[in-house]
With several copies, the nearest count.
Chain A
Amino acid sequence: MKIGVKVMPRKEILDTQGRAVEGILKQHGQKLEHCTVGKYIILDIPETDPKAALAAAKSMAETVLYNPLIETFELEQI
């Protein structure tokens, strides 16, 4: 079963990448208020039960996929 992990910079923390990309997109005349850049990780987990898969994904996210000081994460079944 595949679980998607969305890892985004915490709101109060400076998103250096988002700031640069936003600047460029605006320069290109794109209509944009704000842009945030994070990571997307697809985990293929040998589980058929969504609950078990999500639990495994959560544990992986917490071990290595995200840094709680500067990021938040969300899981989704895909």
Chain B
Amino acid sequence: MSNGAAAEFEAKLKKYRINRAEHEMITTLLGHEPQGIEWALFSALWSEHCSYKSSKVHLKKLFNKSRRVLESFGENAGVVDLGQGERIAFKIESHNHPSFIEPYQGAATGVGGILRDIFTMGARPIALADYLCFGEQSAPRMKSIVDGVVRGIGGYGNCVGVPTITGQTEFHSSYNNNVLVNAMAVGLFGKGERVFLSKARGKGNWVVYVGAKTGRDGVHGASMASESFDEDSAAKRPNVQIGDPFFEKLLIESCLEVMAQDLVVAIQDMGAAGLTSSSFEMASKGGVGLKMNLDDVPLRDPTMSPEEILLSESQERMLLICEPSKFEQLQAVFHRWGLDAVKIGEVLDERVVELRWRNETICKIDPDLLVENCPQYQRPYSPWKAKNRVAGSSDVKTGVKNANEFLSSVLKDVRGTSRKWIYHQYDSRVGAKTVRDCADSVGIVRLPESGRGLGVILGCRPYVMRWDAREGGIDAVAYPALELAAKGFEPLAVTDCLNFGNPERENIMSEFVASLEGMSATCENLDAPIISGNVSFYNETMGQNITSTPSTGLIGLRDTVSEIPVSEFSSDGEAIYLLRLPMVATGGATQELNKLPVTGFGQLEPSLIGAFTRLVRVLADYREGGTLLSSTRIVGKFGLAYALARMSMRGTGCRIDVDKLKAARGEVSTDDLFREHMYEIVVTAKKGREQDLEAEFRQIRGALASADLLPIGRTGGQKVEIAGVLDYALTDIQNSYKTGIWA
């Protein structure tokens, strides 16, 4: 190669983010040097974002089957069968980089994208949830990022008419330059409604493009999401993608209508890498070929090049396959909703994707080369070892001196204060199915045909991840599973969004593997498989990696929405118990607030968690004669004192008996009140049902010897009172908690 040619070659590798080894593989696969558009196609489909090349070897090991699973990885979203003809599609996805660049549009298009993954399958979206991690108040732009992200999620979800029923918000300096915006959508298939897949089929069937016109939005977005941020990212940013929830609403209604009329063979949304990934994946999965004429793609700007058309990430577009005889009827439906539907190609028998542009074939290539043959990397990692442990639970020092003062500061701190400022910007009840909204610890919708309850909840507590990645992974499933169980819901399945830093760094990859092992083991013990998800690597900005954050979304089922325990004390004189399975004691959130290193004692045991979750669920479930438990809340961040304060928020306080608490926990101290014992649940028995509750617990505890149900006090009064340790007036609690987010 001449110097000039060599430089040009280097520049190409850089532009298309393909390394030398990959270039060699591509040349071998193609039988020739990549030419013209082939560079762009491999760049997009072999990007980390589209190919999962650093994670696939580990994702394959995840527990992903149960008798309920209908679809799992490989399709747009996972689908579980609830019986009685009802099925649920759900998935969580990240939109971290775009939300950092343009918070409103980044978050909005994140919601739009995840919704399309759901209704592409034929499910009507019925709920949204958002998992957000922000930096510190003092970080540059952070206030406006928080504001923009929240507005963006609300702006899209509210308009498209899908309620946001739960969420989680975290703050930590590791997100200062790299926020996380993960959105989850849940869709419902009613009786007799078909699940649609993306496998193209049937020689001579038409490839149809529907929805918005293609513009230069987000060209090269997929490969950009696959590299770390540096200072000039702003300069090389693609055109910001603009979401139009109004258009999406039209797309939802029209797509569901053509599906109901049986006019669709296969369908796929155009997400990352736009038309390229949708068409190549549809062909590859269906084992067929496609011939597409790029001149027929509706364009917003007629001067676009084929490469731009193929890689555009314009929002609100779908690709579908239909029988030619049904096209007219299909087009009529889209027209009625004011949308375009145009034929841009045909299905071929031969396994090739042929792209035509200005009467020339610009590419003819086996789709499997792009979709199936991407290299899979076994990135170096080291096996998990327990870290940051102390010798006993009383060695976990929280740094709290004065319980009242600390509780007050926690309730005002952004990490412990009310999230009302966020969720009041979200419509939580459109759809008229919402039973419990963001104000409660679990989001609940009622399934209209069967009247059963579907619980939706998010997980992953970054401070646990910072302490120990395996425990953090277990907790990312266990904690939300217990939250579901404490309302009487059986956890059914899990979706995950693996937000990590640079996988080429061994410490990051080690955390990735350890947390995945923890998650998978817990899922297996719960019989709640991981059936969909997304990996977001390279959350690294200027050398700083985010906290490894495998966020999760769980769904759970309850036979009725009657008498679901609430999350606050609601009437005086009820017996308060601690329902517990102690495995770990940690300072967690409290230590971080006090700027101490996080330490802990013990180890989480997935098999015990599975059994404990089942036990909790039975106690919280509806039964003849009424639910035994009136209120439940998991003791989480900031320990028991904070949990009791939160439970007193509606105006009913509590008095804790120090001797009983000591009998239950072995220690009553300022330190211990703010430690977290994984896992504990504060529950109240319905009046007159204490005996029944205790008897039931003894009966079903079975072999779970380390589980306990211990009375610790009674509800009532206008204070949270633990004699000699804590004495806090409800009005102060309410006022501090109201302080809210600083945005």
A interface list, Cβ under 8 A from B: 12-14, 16, 19-20, 23, 67, 69-70
**B300, CB-defined interface residue at 8 Å:** yes
Residues of A within 8 A of B105 (CB): 70
CB contacts between A and B, total, < 8 Å: 35
Minimum C-beta distance from B336 to chain A (A): 13
B314 touches A14 (CB 8 A): yes
Residues of A within 8 A of B338 (CB): 23
A12 touches B101 (CB 8 A): no
B246 touches A12 (CB 8 A): no
Residues of B within 8 A of A70 (CB): 102, 105, 240, 242
Residues of A within 8 A of B101 (CB): 69
Query: How far does the alpha carbon of A67 sit from the alpha carbon of B215 in the complex, in Å?
Result: 20
Select B240's contact among A13, A19, A23, beta carbons within 8 Å.
A13
B167-225 residues at the A interface, CB under 8 angstroms: 212, 215-217
A16 touches B244 (CB 8 A): yes
Residues of A within 8 A of B217 (CB): 13-14
B648-702 residues at the A interface, CB under 8 angstroms: none
Chain A, Cβ-Cβ closest to B148 = A67
Chain B, Cβ-Cβ closest to A64 = B144
Select A19's contact among B102, B216, B244, beta carbons within 8 Å.
B244
A12 touches B301 (CB 8 A): yes
Query: How far does the alpha carbon of A70 sit from the alpha carbon of B315 in the complex, in Å?
Result: 15
Chain B, Cβ-Cβ closest to A14 = B242
Task: Given the known inter-chain contacts A69-B101, A69-B102, A70-B105, please indicate yes or no for A13 contacting B242, CB distance below 8 A.
Answer: yes
Chain B, Cβ-Cβ closest to A67 = B102
B238-293 residues at the A interface, CB under 8 angstroms: 239-240, 242-244, 246-247
Closest 10 CB pairs of A and B: A16-B244, A14-B242, A69-B240, A69-B102, A12-B216, A70-B240, A12-B239, A13-B242, A14-B215, A16-B242
Minimum C-beta distance from B581 to chain A (A): 49
Residues of B within 8 A of A20 (CB): 246
A16 touches B246 (CB 8 A): yes
Q: Give the residue among A13, A67, A70 with the most B Cβ atoms within 10 A.
A: A13
Minimum C-beta distance from A50 to chain B (A): 28
Minimum C-beta distance from A36 to chain B (A): 13
Minimum C-beta distance from B506 to chain A (A): 36
Chain B, Cβ-Cβ closest to A27 = B338
A14 touches B102 (CB 8 A): no
Q: Give the residue among A16, A20, A23, A70 with the most B Cβ atoms within 10 A.
A: A16
Query: How far does the alpha carbon of A70 sit from the alpha carbon of B217 in the complex, in Å?
Result: 11
A14 touches B300 (CB 8 A): yes
Query: How far does the alpha carbon of A12 sit from the alpha carbon of B216 in the complex, in Å?
Result: 7
Query: How far does the alpha carbon of A49 sit from the alpha carbon of B300 in the complex, in Å?
Result: 28
Query: How far does the alpha carbon of A67 sit from the alpha carbon of B301 in the complex, in Å?
Result: 22
Residues of B within 8 A of A13 (CB): 215, 217, 239-240, 242
Minimum C-beta distance from B428 to chain A (A): 24
Ordered by A's residue number, 30 sampled pairs between the chains whose C-beta atoms are within 8 Å are A12-B215, A12-B216, A12-B239, A12-B301, A13-B215, A13-B217, A13-B239, A13-B240, A14-B212, A14-B215, A14-B217, A14-B242, A14-B244, A14-B300, A14-B314, A14-B315, A16-B242, A16-B246, A16-B247, A19-B244, A19-B247, A20-B246, A67-B102, A69-B101, A69-B102, A69-B237, A69-B240, A70-B102, A70-B240, A70-B242
Residues of B within 8 A of A19 (CB): 244, 247
Minimum C-beta distance from A37 to chain B (A): 13
Chain B, Cβ-Cβ closest to A15 = B242
